[in-house]
């Protein structure tokens, strides 16, 4: 289980302002070249990523998230297993709970821990993406039912709290941008877009994505970041983006 959380911690409250000029927005989203019928796009070149400096240190970093939890089975568990337990504690079976938001600072701190390699850091960033978008993705899944019942689509309070907690944490994570690998930047850009927080441009990642399936993922990130989608379109887009990001994780 690699992806599948707000007490707002003042240490994660940052002021992060980034204004993107109109000409820069146009550069980021050049005219799309139609793909001929029957042509299968490649996934794009592997994103540059970094291994953990020390595997034991990486395991210790994740184990520390369970400090004080006598029920956590951390004895012989590996790093991936522990991350699965952590996500399950925040969102059991992918469901958002009133306590989910309060766990977000733990995920945010772990995502910024230099003891983690990019593989597991990617899992944690994906967890944050799922926590931030769970309410909107659920609305997309329930759209037809809600429409048939004549009910208004309203994000659950616990999902709103979780999204706001992640949004508070994102600027602190973006502080890592200059030192981050391509893999981390790609996931950070997607997380920021899901939370309507401006992020720096993807640069060479964008350039090398031309003509690949990753190009479509980046366009989706751009559309979400611009914030011009209708609520129902945004909800559907987040679900698609979640699947696209999953294909980038190891």
pLDDT in tens, 143-192: 999 999 999 999 999 999 999 999 999 999 999 999 999 999 999 999 99
- Band the pLDDT of 70: cuts 50, 70, 90: low
Which tokens in the block code for residue 83? 């991350």
The answer to whether the beta carbons of residues 164 and 189 sit under 8 Å apart is: no
pLDDT of residue 237 exceeding 80, the answer is yes
Q: Is 44 left (phi over 0), alpha (psi -120 to 50) or beta?
A: left
- Band the pLDDT of 28: cuts 50, 70, 90: low
Using one digit for the tens of pLDDT, what is the confidence trace for 115-145?
Answer: 999 999 999 999 999 999 999 999 999 999 9
The phi, psi pair for 42, rounded to 5°, reads -80, 160
pLDDT of residue 3 exceeding 70, the answer is no
Three-state secondary structure of 5-68: CCCCCHHHCCCCCCCCCHHHHHHHCCCCCCCCCCCCCECCCCCCCCCCCCHHHHHHHHHHHHCC
CA distance 125 to 111: 6
Quote the percentage of the chain above a pLDDT of 70. 81
- Band the pLDDT of 249: cuts 50, 70, 90: confident
Using one digit for the tens of pLDDT, what is the confidence trace for 72-110?
Answer: 555 678 999 999 999 999 999 999 999 999 999 999 999
């Amino acid at each position: 289980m690699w992806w599948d959380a707000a007490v707002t911690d003042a240490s994660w409250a940052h002021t992060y302002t980034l204004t993107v000029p109109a000409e820069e927005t146009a550069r980021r989203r050049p005219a799309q070249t139609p793909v001929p019928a029957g042509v299968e796009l490649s996934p794009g070149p592997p994103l540059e990523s970094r291994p953990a400096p020390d595997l034991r240190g990486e395991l210790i970093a994740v184990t520390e998230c369970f400090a004080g939890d006598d029920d956590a089975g951390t004895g012989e568990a590996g790093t991936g297993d522990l991350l699965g337990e952590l996500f399950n504690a925040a969102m059991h079976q992918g469901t958002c709970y009133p306590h989910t938001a309060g766990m977000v600072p733990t995920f945010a701190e772990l995502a910024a821990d230099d003891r983690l390699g990019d593989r597991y850091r990617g899992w944690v960033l994906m967890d944050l993406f799922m926590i931030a978008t769970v309410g909107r993705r659920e609305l997309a899944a329930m759209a037809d039912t809600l429409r048939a019942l004549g009910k208004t689509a309203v994000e659950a309070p616990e999902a709103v709290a979780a999204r706001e907690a992640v949004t508070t944490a994102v600027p602190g994570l973006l502080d890592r941008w200059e030192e981050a690998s391509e893999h981390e930047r790609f996931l950070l850009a997607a997380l920021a877009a899901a939370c309507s927080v401006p992020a720096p441009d993807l640069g060479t990642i964008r350039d090398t994505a031309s003509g690949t399936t990753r190009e479509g993922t980046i366009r989706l990130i751009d559309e979400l970041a611009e914030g011009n989608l209708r609520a129902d379109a945004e909800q559907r887009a987040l679900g698609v983006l979640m699947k696209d990001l999953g294909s980038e994780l190891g």
